[in-house]
């Protein structure tokens, strides 16, 4: 999707001429939907961006038919295959003067690690990765861990931005990016999930999933081109809550490598969630 068209064009990885659907020599963003999710997860946000920011290409990676298998099967067999195909797709964009350095991959949960694996295959030459609450179990915590190359880390792209919303539950407790963004401290339960906590308890999988996916909703709110969020760069969440790290215009969070470090932001429990805004892509 780009300024040539206001709708998505179905394209396979072996498509012959990408210049028919993508602008040459343009930064390109590929949104990878999550496990048990579908191609519509990021579609509306991508359309809004394409309408307002015509200097970039926006693509939604669709593997919906493979996303409904059991989690460990997806992690062990499906995810590595998709990561390999995705890396090959990124490489093929070089034919229309879009090198890996001009590509951003976005993934959430399991697919945050999937896009990291693609970056590993591309030897870290990707321009940037945005990982939304990367899954902790099987990747960074637990008795059974994937091989390091399958897990997202800061070496997978020139700049890795990671958002957190369920640290120590479903999300990774380990900082994985150059820039780490902690939504409400990255802690469970998130504001919109407290009602589930009262009913089912904090350890219930349903309430954990609520916090895990909350960061996706917050991130999607930033896909509105008119929204700019200012997070606070701070030593810790405790310092942030104490007001020891003031929000200043220069603390705008970007994905160009100029603002590495840990950032904190508070949200409301209902859309549009954000109290202060920034453009993440």
In order of their start, the domains of the chain are 21-265 (3.40.50.1820)
Which residues lie below 8 Å from residue 57, measured CB to CB, with a gap of 6+? Answer: 1, 2, 22, 23, 26, 27, 28, 29, 98
Task: Identify the residue whose tokens are 């539950």.
Answer: 169
- Write the pLDDT tens digit of every residue in 210-221: 999 999 999 998
- Write the pLDDT tens digit of every residue in 240-261: 999 998 766 444 455 555 588 9
Please state, in angstroms and rounded to a whole number, the distance separating the CA atoms of residues 223 and 220: 5
User: At 262, phi and psi to the nearest 5?
Assistant: -105, 135
Confidence at 278, pLDDT banded by 50, 70, 90: very low
**Is the CB of residue 190 less than 8 Å from the CB of residue 214?**
yes
> Smallest Cα–Cα separation from 105: which of 94, 92, 90?
90
**Is the CB of residue 256 less than 8 Å from the CB of residue 179?**
no
The neighbouring-strand residues paired with 67 are none
**167 CB neighbour count, 10 Å cutoff:** 20
Range with lowest mean pLDDT among 104-113, 180-189, 191-200, 244-253: 244-253
Catalogue the E-assigned strands of 86-166: 103-108, 128-132, 159-164
**Is the CB of residue 259 less than 8 Å from the CB of residue 278?**
no
pTM above 0.85, yes or no: yes
**Over pLDDT 90: what percentage of the chain?**
65
């Amino acid at each position: 999707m780009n300024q040539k068209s206001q709708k998505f064009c179905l394209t396979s990885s072996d498509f012959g001429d990408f210049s028919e659907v993508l602008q040459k020599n343009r930064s390109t963003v590929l949104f990878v939907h999550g496990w048990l999710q579908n191609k519509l997860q990021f579609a509306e946000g991508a359309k809004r961006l394409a309408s307002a920011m015509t200097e970039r290409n926006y693509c939604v990676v669709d593997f919906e038919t493979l996303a409904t298998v059991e989690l460990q099967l997806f992690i062990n067999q499906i995810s590595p295959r998709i990561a390999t195909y995705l890396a090959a797709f990124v490489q093929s964009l070089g034919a229309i003067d879009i090198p890996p350095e001009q590509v951003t991959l976005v993934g959430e949960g399991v697919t945050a690690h999937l896009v990291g694996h693609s970056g590993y295959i591309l030897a870290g030459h990707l321009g940037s990765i945005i990982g939304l609450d990367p899954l902790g179990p099987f990747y960074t915590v637990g008795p059974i861990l994937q091989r390091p190359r399958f897990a997202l880390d800061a070496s997978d792209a020139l700049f890795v931005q990671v958002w957190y919303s369920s640290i120590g539950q479903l999300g990774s407790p380990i900082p994985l990016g150059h820039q780490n963004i902690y939504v409400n401290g990255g802690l469970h339960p998130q504001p919109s999930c407290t009602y589930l906590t009262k009913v089912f308890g904090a350890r219930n999988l349903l309430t954990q999933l609520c916090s895990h996916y909350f960061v996706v909703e917050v991130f999607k709110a930033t896909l509105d081109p008119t929204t700019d969020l200012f997070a606070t760069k701070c030593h810790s969440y405790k310092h942030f809550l104490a007001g020891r790290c003031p929000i200043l215009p220069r603390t705008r969070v970007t994905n160009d490598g100029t603002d590495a470090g840990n950032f904190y932001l508070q949200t409301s429990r209902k859309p549009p969630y954000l109290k202060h805004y920034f453009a993440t892509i």
